[in-house]
Amino acid sequence: MRGKSKRLQNYSKTKKTVIVLGNAKSGTSLVAGILRLLGVDIGKKFVEADEFNPKGYFEDYDFVNLTDAIFKAAGSNYWDFPSYEGLLTQKDNFEQQIQQLIRRKQKNKRIWGWKDPWTNILIELFLPYLTNPYFVVIFRNPLAVAKSAVKFTRGKRNEFWVKHPITFFHGLQIANFYDRIILEFFGKYPTLPHFFISFEDIIDNPTRETIKMAKFLGLTLTKQQMNKILGFVTPRSKMAEERRGFKDRS
């Protein structure tokens, strides 16, 4: 799929599709959780929380199952530097499923979206069918991503999409690989609305970063929503300080 899609010029301005992009273990679940509290419909049946992500993954099973199927059909694995071109060759095999899923998910919704790190390298397969896409893209210190990935894959090594635990160096390479894929995508489609955010900035100042995210999406952020987001993101010791900060900025 080369060149800018003609559909990019015809997206509706009354609806938004919000897609979270970012490395696995970079904070995509954190962003998705915040978006949900902001009122973005990101699905209902999620991958269950576990010891690696006790607050939840916020990954819609419908998207997870579809992206898993695309990876398997291409003989690829997220953790083993999958072939970008090889995955895109699955376009004809999954085009109808992608269209049907998006059509069903966006029906009667003003703002909706999804989060699934596998989408990082598959987004061009979805792009032609998205209505007014807005991208929230999270980056994290690659050392932290690698450390978290090592721990995660050791615990998940019996699952079909994790063939073996990765090393710390492999984790760094993976972080760089997917960051490059994401940046190349926006280099190719620079007019697509996108908001870059860092995991560290969210943790350091969730009020400021949530306000910026809400403004990017054209959403009204209420005090009640901010309190819920602070409870989701912030340790109790910092909550009073952050609440004061929200009041001063709103």
For residue 157, the model assigns a pLDDT of 58
Whole-angstrom CA distances from 65 to 97, 132, 133, 241 are: 11, 24, 21, 41
For residue 63, the model assigns a pLDDT of 95
- What confidence tens digit (pLDDT) does each residue in 64-80 have? 999 999 999 999 989 88
Q: Are 138 and 179 in contact (CB under 8 A)?
A: no
- What confidence tens digit (pLDDT) does each residue in 17-47 have? 999 999 999 999 999 999 999 999 998 877 7
For residue 6, the model assigns a pLDDT of 41
* Residue 52 in this model has a pLDDT that exceeds 80: no
Buried residues in 126-148 as b, exposed as e (16+ CB within 10 A): bbbbbbbbbbbbbbbebebbbeb
Contacts of 138 (CB under 8 A, 6+ apart): 20, 21, 22, 26, 27, 28, 30, 31, 197, 198, 199, 202
User: Band of the pLDDT at 3, cuts 50, 70, 90?
Assistant: very low
Q: List the CATH code of the domain at 6-220.
A: 3.40.50.300
For residue 151, the model assigns a pLDDT of 86
Residue at 13: amino acid letter: K
For residue 250, the model assigns a pLDDT of 60
Terminal C-alpha separation, the chain: 43
Nearest CA to 219 out of 228, 207, 210 is that of 210
User: Band of the pLDDT at 152, cuts 50, 70, 90?
Assistant: confident
CA–CA separation, 42 and 152 (whole Å):
24
The whole-number average pLDDT for the span 214-228 is 95
* Residue 5 in this model has a pLDDT that exceeds 50: no
β-strand 111-115 against 16-21: which pairing, if any?
Answer: parallel
Domain residue spans of the chain: 6-220
For residue 238, the model assigns a pLDDT of 53
- What confidence tens digit (pLDDT) does each residue in 89-121 have? 999 999 999 999 999 999 999 999 999 999 999
CA–CA separation, 48 and 51 (whole Å):
10
User: Band of the pLDDT at 57, cuts 50, 70, 90?
Assistant: confident
Nearest CA to 195 out of 247, 146, 139 is that of 139
For residue 20, the model assigns a pLDDT of 98
- What confidence tens digit (pLDDT) does each residue in 165-213 have? 789 999 999 999 999 999 999 999 999 999 999 999 999 999 999 999 9
